[in-house]
């Protein structure tokens, strides 16, 4: 079972599920959570490739770059959640709700 | 310092770059600087530039005997085989111009500190002036016609900016625009000329390996000189020169350009910029000598302009207008010389004219400055010679220096103007064919006008009785030292510089000015056939020298006679009434102008003729175009039509913008999925 | 490793299921945590222990707490089912008990096996799948699956780790300079020898995000809309 294609498939499933969550939710916090799940799925794919290339003789830095980028994704995700949650708080103050449909000022 | 001095290329770059730095400093920080620092920086920049030019000229070109100094900065543009270097090229011709521009420019900068000190826009003024010097130096020091054109447009821009310097007064801005438009017409001709030359020679450079000169040499060697094409190219180039150097039919802008500050008129509209056309023709002499028709056109145009503008100058009341028409007339003399193939005489006249005309303009500026004290800035009375008179008592330095300038302009023997003008007349006289006699006739008539109006200017302004506002006379003060000093230096020049090119009749067969410039014409002269009328005479037999004495005698008699005659009339109040009788019939308010006076005063109705034949039809055509093309086609069909289509479609499209985040998310995800699917399909 | 992978994969799938089916944000957050925990196991199974630990510290430790905080700040009761109409939902509607309704209370019967209240609430709050979102995410999954299937045969197998990675896992640095794959030392060497610039840039990004978050979440910022107090706005209304 522990083979690259299976792990990648797991990542694909998590990613698609995250997308479903993002699309189906109207609560902004839930939306953000689903987004985190998608990022996590990407991380899994990255680590998978990192492990795969370790056996191909690409040197230490080459083999670990997947893991390094996982860390980067985590950092970016943390920043994103920070900003996202702050925006949600701001929206909530103004609209008294965290419903994404409430913020529709950009309506054409 | 020594190293810079020893390095001719660095020195050469310093010449145009110093004024550029001055422009940048004044343009960027000028508002916060005092008159002294702003003007001081501007003047210092040009003075340093002059010293560098002097260093190049004296040390590198004369003592070390360097013929040319070149420096290429970078490739400006390259399109296929068309390559233009951005570089400087100094040879004997451009060295003369460089010295005139920086030397006279420095004097005029110093003069301007006194003249413009009270103006609120002095920093802007000095910035423009420095930019002008930079552009003019690029014009003469550029190593190709394209660089020349860059400077050509740059000086045009500065001229426009400085004519409309006092932009709050509408006629000034109109005059600026007139200058710009007239120059654009010429520039178009210039560009066509450049294209033709490039088409023929595949190069626009006059320095380096693949130059116009080598192209010309190759064409001569292979016998494939296309005279027709060269004629057209030269005519087109000359149209450009007509615009810049104010020749018929494009001269109308120069008299109006007097709306600018007087030092500007001295620097730009007398000493330097307007002689750019001569420079360009002289620079292209090796092409022009093959275009005989074009040369004839140049000579005739020059002669006609000289007489035409000179006769208008006879009756102008505005002191600066007289000088402006005089400048047009003198430029005509220069083109006469160029058209006769005597390029060195054209350049020599540029050289002497720069001194005495700058002197006259600066002197008139001093007069205006003195009168404006009490008459107020921009008062036309401060320039009206009929409301002056007797200013000799008040402005002695100005009077005597201007007197020298006027004598030089009139061509009184012994002064600079005599030698240059006489040599030009002699070259026409000596030619001996129909063209030569026509040109000679025009030239002599123009010389009579010149002597007359220069005497009239001095007589009306400085002698006789004061005819204007008493208060203004009482408060007229001699110019400050910063203004008087340049006048005196220029007066010395107006006396002395003529001796650089004494006629062969005086026993001087190799005058220094001619010898200095000889290498410039060498290629062109070598290409001319034996006995060609365009050849610059080298040997002078006794018959030629006798003919020259005749010519000198005629010129001197004309100059002396006419000058004395006019001076007697205009400097004595009693005679003025008689002159008035020539101009007007009747007395007082019933006075009617005599027709010939009216025609001259209205400048042969040239502005009206242009208005009727060019401006009006253009306006009518533009009115039609406005109604049909602009209002109906563009406004209604294109602009409003487009707007309506956009509005209708955006009314539909805006419904896509629901403002709901999830709708955007759906759109985004759908697009992403489609792209991924497409990518997968294509990757197979 | 195989067993660990299968277990953690199942756990993270289960967590994901909870996340996307729960209406209650707190339950959903729990699901997210479970999914993250499962992912950490997957990382460990893939010989990336440092990433696994980071995953737990950052996601479970930091992010989840942050989510919880904001859930407490804001009104967690969503409007999906209660208010059918889209658009702005006033706080009055949220706080008005008549309109908010809430799930009907089932009558309790004695002596009967009772499903714990939390479980019934959880089951109640499962929401029905939305067809459009389902179609999109399933087609994405199909795309991914096709892409994975097209990978060359080498990707059928991870292969053993080379001997050069046989260093001690938790030693700061082994004596012969051999580092274990995925160990802290190896990852740090990668960061500071391979990608120091990216590391610095990302720290700058986090700093900027910190400042931005503080600015956005501050209450009274004169002149900046959206930073007013809720109470004040209500007074105006």
Domain count across chain B = 2
Q: How far is CA C87 from the centre of its chain?
A: 27
Is pLDDT at A68 greater than 50 in this prediction? Answer: yes
| Contact: A106, B657; criterion CB under 8 Å | yes
Residues B481 and B368 in one domain: yes
pLDDT in tens, B164-175: 998 888 888 999
Is pLDDT at C78 greater than 60 in this prediction? Answer: no
Residues C71 and C34 in one domain: yes
N residues, chain A: 108
Is pLDDT at B449 greater than 90 in this prediction? Answer: yes
More confident residue, B556 or C92: B556
Residue B558 belongs to domain spanning: 342-530+538-601
Say if residues A25 and A34 touch (Cβ distance below 8 Å).
yes
pLDDT in tens, B303-354: 999 999 999 888 888 899 999 999 999 999 999 999 999 999 999 999 999 9
Q: Give a yes or no: residue B35 inside a domain.
A: no
Is pLDDT at B448 greater than 90 in this prediction? Answer: yes
pLDDT in tens, C112-149: 676 777 776 666 666 666 888 889 999 999 999 999 98
Q: Give a yes or no: residue C87 inside a domain.
A: no
> What pLDDT score does C82 carry?
45
Is pLDDT at C226 greater than 60 in this prediction? Answer: no
Query: For residue B384, how many other CB atoms are within 10 A of its CB?
Result: 18
Q: Give a yes or no: residue B130 inside a domain.
A: no
Is residue B670 within 8 angstroms of chain C, CB to CB? yes
Residues B452 and B496 in one domain: yes
Residues C36 and C125 in one domain: yes
Give the SS3 label for residue B629. Answer: helix
The highest-confidence range among A55-64, B77-86, B398-407, by mean pLDDT, is: B398-407
The enclosing domain of C65 has a CATH number of 1.20.120.1200
Label the pairing between strands B584-585 and B82-90. Answer: unpaired
* Residue ending a domain, choose from B577, B601, B625: B601
Say if residues B153 and B187 touch (Cβ distance below 8 Å).
yes
Of B670, B680, B683, nearest to C136 by CB-CB distance is B670
Residues B395 and B369 in one domain: yes
Residues C228 and C213 in one domain: yes
Residues C17 and C125 in one domain: yes
Of A19, A31, A104, nearest to B659 by CB-CB distance is A104
Whole-number Cα distances in Å, B661 to A20, B311, C136, C216: 15, 82, 16, 19
Q: What is the DSSP string of A13-74?
A: HHHHHHHHHHHH--BHHHHHHHHHHHHHHHHHHHHHHHHHHHTTT-HHHHHHHHHHHHHHHH
Q: How many CB pairs under 8 A join A and B?
A: 35
Q: Give a yes or no: residue C88 inside a domain.
A: no
Taking the CA of residue C65 and the nearest CA in chain A, the distance in Å comes to 11
To test the contact with chain C by mutation, choose from A81, A103, A104 the residue with the greatest count of C C-beta atoms within 10 A, namely: A81
Lowest mean pLDDT among B142-156, B585-599, B628-642: B585-599
Residues C172 and C214 in one domain: no
More confident residue, C175 or A80: A80
Q: How confident is the model at residue C231 (pLDDT cuts 50, 70, 90)?
A: very low
Say if residues B186 and B259 touch (Cβ distance below 8 Å).
no
Is pLDDT at B585 greater than 80 in this prediction? Answer: no
Q: Give a yes or no: residue B455 inside a domain.
A: yes
- Looking at residues B177-186, what average pLDDT do you find? 90
Q: Give a yes or no: residue B582 inside a domain.
A: yes
Domains of chain A, with CATH numbers? 4-100 (1.10.287.3510)
> What pLDDT score does C83 carry?
46
Q: How confident is the model at residue C219 (pLDDT cuts 50, 70, 90)?
A: low
Label the pairing between strands B69-79 and B584-585. Answer: unpaired
Residues C11 and C123 in one domain: yes
Residues B596 and B613 in one domain: no
Domain count across chain C = 3
pLDDT in tens, C83-92: 443 443 443 4
| Contact: C140, B666; criterion CB under 8 Å | no
Q: Which residues in chain B have their CB less than 8 angstroms from residue A105's CB?
A: 659
Residues B449 and B580 in one domain: yes
Is pLDDT at B69 greater than 80 in this prediction? Answer: yes
| Contact: C143, B680; criterion CB under 8 Å | yes
Residues C188 and C230 in one domain: no
Determine whether B206 is exposed, middle or buried from the number of CB atoms within 10 Å of its CB (0-12, 13-18, 19+): buried
- Looking at residues B384-405, what average pLDDT do you find? 88
Omega of the bond leading into B249 within 30 degrees of 0 (cis): yes
Residues B619 and B581 in one domain: no
| Contact: B657, A19; criterion CB under 8 Å | no
Secondary element (H or E) of residue C135? helix C131-149
Residues C30 and C1 in one domain: yes
Say if residues B260 and B172 touch (Cβ distance below 8 Å).
yes
SS (H, E, C) C41-105: HHHHHCCCHHHHHHHHHHHHHHHHHHHHHHHHHCCCCCCCCCCCCCCCCCHHHHHCHHHHCCCCC
Residues C200 and C125 in one domain: no
> What pLDDT score does C96 carry?
43
Q: Give a yes or no: residue B127 inside a domain.
A: no
- Looking at residues B388-401, what average pLDDT do you find? 88
Report the neighbours of A using a cutoff of 3 or more CB pairs below 8 angstroms.
B, C
Residues B624 and B585 in one domain: no
Residue C65 belongs to domain spanning: 1-80+119-129
* Residue ending a domain, choose from B586, B601, B616: B601
* Residue ending a domain, choose from B552, B571, B601: B601
- Looking at residues B429-453, what average pLDDT do you find? 91
Is residue B676 within 8 angstroms of chain C, CB to CB? yes
- Looking at residues A80-94, what average pLDDT do you find? 86
Residues B579 and B480 in one domain: yes
Q: How confident is the model at residue B438 (pLDDT cuts 50, 70, 90)?
A: very high
Instruction: Please give the mean pLDDT across all residues of chain B.
Output: 87
Q: Which residues sit opposite B384 in a β-bridge?
A: B318
| Contact: B660, C140; criterion CB under 8 Å | no
Secondary element (H or E) of residue B592? strand B592-593
Residues C74 and C171 in one domain: no
Q: Report the alpha-carbon distance of residue B530 to residue B540 in Å, rounded.
A: 16
Residues C124 and C73 in one domain: yes
Residues B391 and B516 in one domain: yes
Residues C125 and C38 in one domain: yes
Q: How confident is the model at residue C235 (pLDDT cuts 50, 70, 90)?
A: very low
- Measured at the alpha carbon of residue B419, what is the angle toward residues B417 and B424, in degrees to the nearest 5? 95
- Looking at residues B410-422, what average pLDDT do you find? 90
Q: Helix B343-375 and helix B481-496: axis angle, to 10°?
A: 150
Is pLDDT at C101 greater than 60 in this prediction? Answer: no
| Tokens describing residue B286 | 């090796």
Residues B594 and B578 in one domain: yes
Q: Give a yes or no: residue B126 inside a domain.
A: no
Closest CA to B366 of B489, B487, B256: B487
Q: Give a yes or no: residue B618 inside a domain.
A: yes
| Tokens describing residue B460 | 């009306």
| Tokens describing residue B161 | 């900016």
Only one residue has tokens 């004839």, namely B296
Closest CA to B563 of B427, B369, B414, B345: B414
Q: What is the DSSP string of B84-107?
A: EEEEEEE-HHHHHHHHHHHHHHHH
Task: Assign 3-state DSSP to chain C and report helix, strand, coil percentages, each to 5.
Answer: 65, 0, 35
Q: Give a yes or no: residue B48 inside a domain.
A: no
């Amino acid at each position: 079972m522990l083979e690259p294609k299976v792990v990648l498939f797991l990542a694909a499933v998590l990613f698609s599920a995250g997308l479903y969550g993002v699309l189906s939710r109207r609560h902004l916090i839930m939306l953000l959570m689903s987004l985190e799940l998608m990022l996590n799925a990407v991380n899994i794919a990255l680590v998978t490739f990192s492990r795969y290339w370790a056996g191909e003789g690409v040197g230490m830095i080459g083999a670990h770059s997947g893991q390094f980028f996982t860390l980067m994704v985590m950092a970016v995700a943390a920043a994103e959640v920070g900003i996202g949650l702050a925006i949600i708080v701001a929206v909530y103050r103004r609209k008294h709700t965290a419903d994404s449909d409430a913020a529709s000022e950009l309506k054409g | 310092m020594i190293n810079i001095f020893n390095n001719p290329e660095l020195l050469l770059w310093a010449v145009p770059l110093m004024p550029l730095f001055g422009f940048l400093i004044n343009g960027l920080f000028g508002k916060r600087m005092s008159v002294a620092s702003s003007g001081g920086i501007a003047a210092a920049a040009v003075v340093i530039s002059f010293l560098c030019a002097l260093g190049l000229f004296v040390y590198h070109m004369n003592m070390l005997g360097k013929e040319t100094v070149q420096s290429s900065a970078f490739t400006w543009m390259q399109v296929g085989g068309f390559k233009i270097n951005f570089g400087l090229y100094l040879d004997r011709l451009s060295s003369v111009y460089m010295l005139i521009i920086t030397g006279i420019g420095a004097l005029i900068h110093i003069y301007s500190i006194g003249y413009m000190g009270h103006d609120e826009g002095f920093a802007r003024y000095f910035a423009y002036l420095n930019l002008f010097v930079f552009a003019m130096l690029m014009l003469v020091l550029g190593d190709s016609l394209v660089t020349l054109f860059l400077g050509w447009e740059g000086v045009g821009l500065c001229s426009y900016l400085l004519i409309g310097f006092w932009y709050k007064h509408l006629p000034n801005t109109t005059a600026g625009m007139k200058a710009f438009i007239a120059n654009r017409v010429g520039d178009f001709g210039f560009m066509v000329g450049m294209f033709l030359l490039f088409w023929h020679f595949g190069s626009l450079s006059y320095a380096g390996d693949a130059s116009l000169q080598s192209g010309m040499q190759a064409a001569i060697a292979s016998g494939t000189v296309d005279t027709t094409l060269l004629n057209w190219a030269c005519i087109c180039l000359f149209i450009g020169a007509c615009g810049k150097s104010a020749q018929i039919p494009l001269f109308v802008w120069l008299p109006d350009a007097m709306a600018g500050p007087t030092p500007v008129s001295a620097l730009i509209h007398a000493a330097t910029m307007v002689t750019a056309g001569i420079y360009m023709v002289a620079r292209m002499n090796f092409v022009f000598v093959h275009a005989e028709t074009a040369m004839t056109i140049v000579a005739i145009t020059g002669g006609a302009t000289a007489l035409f503008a000179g006769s208008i100058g006879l009756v102008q009341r505005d002191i600066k207008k007289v000088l402006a028409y005089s400048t047009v007339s003198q430029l005509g003399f220069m083109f006469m010389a160029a058209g006769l193939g005597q390029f060195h005489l054209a350049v020599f006249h540029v050289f002497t004219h720069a001194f005495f005309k700058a002197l006259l303009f600066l002197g008139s500026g001093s007069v205006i400055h003195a009168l404006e004290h009490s008459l107020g800035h921009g008062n036309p009375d401060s320039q009206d010679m009929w409301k002056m008179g007797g200013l000799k008592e008040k402005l002695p330095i100005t009077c005597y220096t201007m007197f020298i300038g006027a004598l030089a302009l009139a061509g009184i023997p012994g002064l600079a103007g005599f030698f240059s003008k006489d040599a030009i007349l002699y070259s026409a006289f000596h030619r001996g064919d129909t063209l030569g006699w026509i040109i000679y006739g025009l030239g002599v008539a123009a010389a009579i006008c010149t002597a007359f109006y220069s005497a009239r200017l001095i007589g009306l302004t400085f002698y006789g009785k004061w005819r204007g506002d008493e208060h203004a006379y009482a408060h007229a003060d001699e110019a400050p030292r910063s203004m008087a000093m340049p006048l005196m230096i220029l007066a010395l020049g107006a006396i002395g510089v003529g001796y650089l090119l004494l006629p062969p009749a005086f026993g001087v067969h190799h005058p220094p000015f001619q010898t200095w410039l000889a290498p410039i014409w060498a290629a062109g002269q070598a290409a001319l056939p034996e006995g060609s009328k365009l050849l610059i005479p080298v040997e002078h037999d006794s018959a030629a020298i006798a003919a020259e004495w005749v010519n000198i005698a005629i010129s001197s008699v004309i100059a002396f006679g006419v000058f004395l005659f006019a001076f007697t009339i205009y400097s004595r109040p009693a005679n003025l009434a008689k002159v008035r009788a020539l101009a007007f019939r009747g007395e007082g308010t019933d006075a009617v102008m005599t027709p010939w006076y009216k025609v001259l005063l209205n400048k042969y109705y040239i502005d009206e003729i242009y208005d009727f034949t060019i401006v009006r039809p253009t306006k009518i055509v533009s009115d039609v175009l406005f109604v049909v093309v602009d209002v109906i086609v563009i406004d209604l069909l294109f602009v409003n039509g487009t707007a309506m289509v956009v509005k209708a479609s955006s009314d539909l499209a805006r419904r896509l913008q629901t403002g709901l985040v999830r709708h955007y998310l759906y759109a985004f995800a759908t697009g992403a999925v489609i792209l991924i699917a497409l990518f997968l399909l294509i990757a197979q | 490793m195989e067993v660990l992978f299968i277990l953690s994969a199942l756990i993270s799938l289960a967590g994901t299921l909870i996340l996307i089916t729960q209406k209650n944000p707190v339950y959903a957050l729990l699901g997210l945590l479970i999914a993250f925990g499962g992912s950490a196991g997957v990382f460990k199974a893939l010989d990336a222990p440092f990433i696994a630990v980071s995953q737990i510290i950052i996601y479970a430790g930091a992010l989840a707490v942050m989510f919880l905080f904001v859930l407490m700040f804001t009104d967690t009761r969503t409007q999906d089912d209660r208010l059918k109409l889209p658009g702005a939902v006033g706080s009055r509607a949220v706080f008005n008990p008549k309109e908010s309704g809430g799930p009907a209370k089932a009558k309790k019967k004695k002596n009967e096996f009772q499903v714990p209240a939390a479980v019934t609430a959880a089951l109640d709050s499962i929401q029905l799948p939305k067809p459009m979102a389902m179609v999109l995410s399933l087609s994405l999954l199909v795309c991914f699956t096709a892409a994975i299937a097209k990978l060359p045969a080498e990707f059928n197998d991870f292969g053993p780790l080379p001997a050069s990675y046989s260093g001690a896992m938790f030693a700061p640095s082994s004596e012969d300079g051999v580092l274990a794959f995925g160990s802290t030392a190896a990852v740090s060497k990668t960061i500071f020898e391979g990608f120091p610039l990216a590391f610095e840039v990302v720290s700058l990004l986090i700093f900027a995000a910190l400042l931005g978050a503080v600015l956005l979440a501050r209450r009274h910022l004169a002149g900046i809309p959206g930073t007013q107090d809720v109470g004040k706005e209500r007074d105006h209304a």
